[in-house]
Amino acid sequence: MKESFRWYGPKDSVSLDYIRQAGAKNIVSALHDVPNGSVWKVGQIKDYRNYIKNKGLIWTVVESIPVHEDIKQRVGDFEKYIENYKTTILNLASSGIHTICYNFMPVLDWTRTDLYKPLGDGSTALAYETDALCAFDLFVVKRKNANQDYSLKQIRSAQKYFTDLDQESISILTNSIIAGLPGAEEEYTMEEFNMRIEAYANITKETLRSNLIQFLEAIIPTAESCGIRMCIHPDDPPQPLFGIPRVVSNLDDLNRLFSAVPSLNNGLTFCTGSFGVLAENNLLEMFTKHADRIHFLHLRSTQRDGKGNFFEANHLEGDVDMYTMVKAALIEENRRKSKGRKDFEIPMRPDHGHQMLDDLNKKTNPGYSAIGRLRGLAEIRGLAIGIKRNEN
């Protein structure tokens, strides 16, 4: 696997120098300053790539080119934004970058209700609590008809949760959910957030899936023409939020997506943490079924409690069998190599990490502090070496 680290640009407190010391040679990044929907120009791409190259590293994966909300809803200027997306694909390919991770999650990117959940060892982790999300939806956002999406038991539990919150806690919860999550590229005021949610009021799961398929039908021929591997990231968490459906959450979603647009350039970012939130998802089955189109790996683990809540566990702990998943990735790489595929090495990054040690006193992107991800990378690297040597 190509060991990689996500980097949020020159303003990231985790510098390229630190990443190089961690041993990862490949960078996962994006032009975060370019507004959603705009074209990434060749000059911008090459300047950014060269900045990374001058640090002795390689910009290997783009994560992400955000998909404009008009495309997801097929309204407004969606056709213009699709053309801009295609131009950006061509510009990246001409600059030597051929793997693009993206997602089709409406309104928000990955969502958590606590960005700094204290753990027993003194570190903190990203966490998701259903009562917190429900309380935020019902009593902070006050979404129209939100109570129709929850059972009476859920509403009562959320009411109790909300009653126990003071104003500071409400503010922290609000910021955790909507205020500048890494990867979201945009920040929302509460008024804007309500407007964004309301725009999806009449969009069903089948409509959203159709919109995704039509987007792919438009861009994949461009990706094929220039050798770009598009790899969609699964929903995180893999369940409807704020009444908005999700369409990349389980094996059925993947089967339907790849049957509709069968090109191998229509690929997948296999995120063990996102898929692992659903106990019914068989990760090995999902990986094996679509192994040939997995172009990027996010390796992390979550710990479920059986009630819909979870937190980010250490990479070799939690509910994800990391041994099985790393072994599956290595088997797939060997298969590709035997077939002569030039892309036999799959880029992998340790996804998220606990805030720990000296990083507890630093301001970093939630989930993306240095030491927690360094630990994850070291554990995964050691696991991979052990698997390889055991098989030889």
- Residues classed as catalytic: 233, 271, 298, 351-352, 368
Per this entry, what is the length of the chain?
392
Coil, helix or strand at residue 247: coil
User: Quick check: helix, strand or coil at residue 371?
Assistant: helix
CA-to-CA separations, 153 to 149, 157, 158, 159, 348, in angstroms, rounded = 12, 6, 9, 10, 41
> 101 pairs with which residues across the strands?
63, 231
CB 29 within 8 A of CB 8: yes
Residue type, 303: Q
What distances in angstroms separate CA 107 from CA 67, 146, 184, 195, 362, one per listed residue?
10, 16, 9, 10, 29
**313: β partners:** 301
Which residue, 298, 275, 288, 300, is CA-closest to 1?
Answer: 298
Structure tokens at 190: 């509460």
Q: Alpha carbon 108 to chain centroid distance?
A: 11
**155: enclosing H helix or E strand:** helix 152-163
> Contacts for 302-308 with beta carbons within 8 Å, 24 or more apart?
302/273, 302/276, 302/277, 304/277, 304/279, 306/279, 307/130, 308/130
Query: Tokens at residue 85, please?
Result: 């997306």
CA dist 104 and 208 (Å) reads 9
* Contacts of residue 326, Cβ cutoff 8 Å, sequence gap at least 6: 1, 299, 380, 383, 384, 387
Which neighbouring-strand residues pair with 114? Answer: 127
Orientation angle between helical segments 78-94 and 42-53, nearest 10 degrees: 40
- The SS3 call for residue 383 is helix
* Joined tokens for residue 377: 């990378």
